[in-house]
Structure 1
């Protein structure tokens, strides 16, 4: 009996030890915290991650976005200051607010970075670049979308859809330029039960014939 207890103790300790080691596998440098990630595999074969960046204990997120990229899922590169709403790399001339969770899209040689900020007047916007790492420039407000956490889907037919929301989710058709929404198409994509569960953090993808809306409660 004593031997069995000793054996199981060693097994359990080994399990938690190795689980702890395996869990410590960051893809960012120590001290860099990137949250709200959206991953995209672009035409160059690399995987890119766009997300918010926590830089202080005093406030949410930061005034700049970095971009993570990899060609093998093992070695990661960080492109700093790919976009900014304030400071040296500022590309938002209509406010100096923090940047929350972003998303990105690609169409006809242009990469689009969809960003959001707190406040009711200038929350959603989009900037563009010819490079997936940026720099993303000329941030423009997306009028008609006034909450947070954008997500974008370019469907198989080339049409774009813009998801966002806080408290209740919303979706609208993007115009052909991908920098404006058609406000006449704004709708809530879930029923009342779904709306009750939704808080923020829309994330959209299509797998086969089905569309999946992932969100935070």
Structure 2
């Protein structure tokens, strides 16, 4: 009888869903997470690190897509977009974000521009479009949305990177991006044209990787920051998507074995999640990063509690 109960108990344990573990993707090196919830599925758009152990710079040939319905098991769709998709582009696949808008999926990417009649090179932002969250994606406009010559407040050529796109309740679309300064602009309803002048803001300790969203009546601007070097995650809040922004502090300390970190924030099935990357996988590092996810928790006044980085990850959801 005892043996029968033991077998039954072991069978029940085997049936129970296992918790996730950080990093959540272990077979390739991934970075710059951008989550999107569509219907009952969470899709994760990611950069792809392929630098060797000995290399000391980024090598990011493409963007990949993953999905989950339980926050534990991730379906891998593989490479779904690359700078080669854009005839005007060259170089690496930097941080990107995909958003859903009126039946289509718009993937805003940062890469580099060829020297031609439109730009003399440097970082640029493009837009790909698809009818499905996993593609296939194609260049939405046949040219870059933002080129280096359009932003002159910083002298370096890699400042137009890391776009995040936010659709407000009134359906006005905003894009934020930038390295060492944060730029924002309104987009037209077609998602492929600027609807006004580019504005520049200077959040405290801002470096790059902005992520903008709204919760209740408060707007959040979360970003990779100078911190104590390497990067941390800090944030500001505002009563509108255009500010004024009030600095709120550090929410994520340094991550293991990576100079950079990058925020991606989403609500899914009743929980709030904070995606980021670190260098914790075997042979990982600043140029061989891995995406993780932990819980995001708020105080009653809407401020964000410090992120607790875990190796266990988050619990499964139904």
Bucket of the pairwise TM-score, normalised by the shorter protein: 0.7 to 0.9
Q: Quick one: structure 1 residues 215 and 61, their matched pair in 2 at CA, closer, same or farther if it must change by over 3 Å? A: farther
* 1:155 aligned partner: 168
Q: Which has the higher helix share?
A: 1
Q: Measured at CA, do residues 79 and 210 of structure 1 come closer, stay the same or move farther in structure 2, by a change above 3 Å?
A: same
Deviation at 1:188, TM superposition (A): 2.4
Trace 1:24-103 onto structure 2 (pairs within 5 A).
24-30=21-27, 32-42=28-38, 44-57=39-52, 58=55, 59-86=57-84, 91-103=85-97
Kept in 1, the 8 Å contact 2:47–2:94? The answer is yes
Normalising by structure 1, report the TM-score: 0.78
1:118 Cα offset (Å): 4.2
Question: How far apart in 2 are the matches of 1:122 and 1:38?
Answer: 19
- Whole-angstrom CA distance in 2 between matches of 1:187 and 1:95: 24
Deviation at 1:36, TM superposition (A): 1.3
**Is the 1:65–1:81 Cα contact (8 Å) retained in structure 2?**
yes
Does 1 or 2 have the higher relative contact order (CA < 8 Å, sep 6+)? 2
TM-score by length of 2: 0.54
Moved more, 151-160 or 112-121: 112-121
Q: Distance in 2 between matches of 1:93 and 1:71?
A: 35
CA contact (8 A) 1:81 1:135 kept: no
CA deviation string 1:2-52 (max 9, x = no partner): xxxxxxxxxxxxxxxxxxxx895432242x12111111111x210011121
Paired with 1:180 and 1:62, the residues of 2 have a C-alpha distance of: 27
Once the two structures are superposed, residues 92-133 of structure 1 have per-residue CA deviations (whole angstroms, 9 ceiling, x without a partner) of: 111222110001111111000000014654511110001111
- Aligned-partner Cα distance in 2 for 1:24–1:130: 32
1:116 counterpart = 2:110: yes
- In 2: Cα distance, 1:65 partner to 1:202 partner: 18
Instruction: Provide, for residues 56-111 of structure 1, a one-character-per-residue CA deviation record: whole Å limited to 9, x for no partner.
Output: 1334141211111111112111111211113xxxx111122211000111111100
Q: Which residue of 2 aligns with 1:173?
A: 186
RMSD, matched Cα: 2.1
Contact 2:123/2:161 (8 A) holds in 1: no
1:18 matched residue in structure 2: none
1:3-22 equivalences under 5 Å are none
